[in-house]
Amino acid sequence: MSKDIVTQKQLLYERVEVDKDELFALLGSLIQINSENFGSHGNEAACAEYVKNYGEALGYQAEIYSPVDILDFEKHPDYLAGRGLEARRNCTITVPGKQHEKKLMLAAHIDTVEIGDESKWAFPPLCGMVRDGRILGRGACDDKYGVAASLFLFKKMKELGIELQYDLLFTGYCDEEHGGSNGALAACLKYPCDDYLNLDCKNFEIWNCGVGGGELVFQVKSKDAVDNCSKVLEGLNLAEKHFREFAERRRAELESNPIFAGTIVARNALRIMNFAAGGQGGTDMDSGYFKVTYYTDKTESEINDELVELKKAVDKEFEELGLCALQIKKTTRFFHYVKSEENNRIVSLLKEAGEENGKHLCEKGACLSDLPMFVLYGSPRAVCFGIGADFHRPGGAHQTNEYVECDKFVEFTKIVGGFLLDY
């Protein structure tokens, strides 16, 4: 490593520490912009505009675009329809380097899950305030900290006169939540780069492998009019019993996978997300459904074959109960199982930057992230890195009272900055 790079890194680390309140305020401003993703539609446009304005204020080119603006995007094999993409936006900022032969993209998604019932929050969901060493609000740890860190580093490097040897891009992309991935796919197709670092991850981990799977809805309906839900409930329980066998196969395969064995991903290879029969006020008693998320390292065709056999077995029993054939519908894309390149330079550089900042970074596997888009259509070296909190932790991703810890946010920003200078 040259003496100039060492000096620049030290200056950048010091500037991040000195200006950390500016970093926190930037994240707070992003949190205050409502960018909820509802699956069939989303309102990321205002957040994309914020990113564009920030980049242009620094003197850099910034472009807002919808995924469907890309030629033949809807014909792509991994395009997911029914997401209202015409009104949804990505924004990509380009920071030109001394040379243009090499390009690196940082990426982070600008959409969030729904706020939900605001009465369950201990603070306004879009407050973006700093309190007790935490930055509070929807999107704080999933994933607006990645957006804020990137923009902040662009500004600090410009203030310090640091010019990189390569072109650096940042994309704030739409439609990550609810199994979308259209925004990540669009970023890769519109801005081909040598490498991609997606800043959406947990616990200072580096995700170099992504488990496959997705979300399914199993729908049950009575052939005849009924005055209570008992028949539908029996059908739901019957279908769920058959699906448990499917789930056990998923757990077994992930426990035999060295990357996922003994992890929460393998333990939670099946998650029941919703289970309901009938409707409010005694309505719709002839129908019900349950929704599940599952993880796998099998291919989509292998999973589809299993679901066909599962449906056949259930339909025979449904006929005897007077129920219609079981309906199985995908509500997200199918996520492909992917693994980044072995002996990955991106991983090595992240680990080196981590050690410089007192953090030992480890490689782990992801569940249903956008890593497959970046690996399959961006670069085989693409990985995810971040500091979000797990779904099951209070204040973690998708939880009420979401937050990110200030100290970790500063450490994360320094590591990313060090990586950029070493790349």
Statement: residue 2 has pLDDT above 80:
no
List, for residues 359-370, the tens digit of each pLDDT value. Answer: 999 999 998 999
Average of per-residue pLDDT across 389-407? 92
Nearest Cα to Cα of residue 175 among 70, 35, 26, 76: 35
Statement: residue 223 has pLDDT above 70:
yes
Token pair belonging to 37: 């993703």
Average of per-residue pLDDT across 207-216? 96
List, for residues 109-127, the tens digit of each pLDDT value. Answer: 999 999 999 999 999 999 9
Statement: residue 314 has pLDDT above 80:
yes
**What's at 324, amino acid-wise?**
C
Statement: residue 4 has pLDDT above 90:
no
Statement: residue 393 has pLDDT above 90:
no
At 42 the pLDDT is 98
List, for residues 62-89, the tens digit of each pLDDT value. Answer: 999 999 999 999 999 999 999 999 999 9
**Torsion (CA) 349, 350, 353, 357 in degrees, nearest 10:** -160
At 389 the pLDDT is 87
- Residue 268 phi, psi dihedral angles, 5° rounding: -105, 35
Q: How far apart are CA 108 and CA 172, in angstroms?
A: 5
At 323 the pLDDT is 96
Q: Percentage of the chain surpassing pLDDT 90? A: 92
Cβ atoms of 218 and 243 closer than 8 Å: yes
Instruction: Using pLDDT thresholds of 50, 70 and 90, give the confidence band for residue 1.
Output: low
Average of per-residue pLDDT across 162-188? 97
How does the average pLDDT of the chain come out, rounded? Answer: 96
Instruction: Using pLDDT thresholds of 50, 70 and 90, give the confidence band for residue 41.
Output: very high
Q: How far apart are CA 295 and CA 255, in angstroms?
A: 11
Average of per-residue pLDDT across 288-295? 95
At 90 the pLDDT is 98
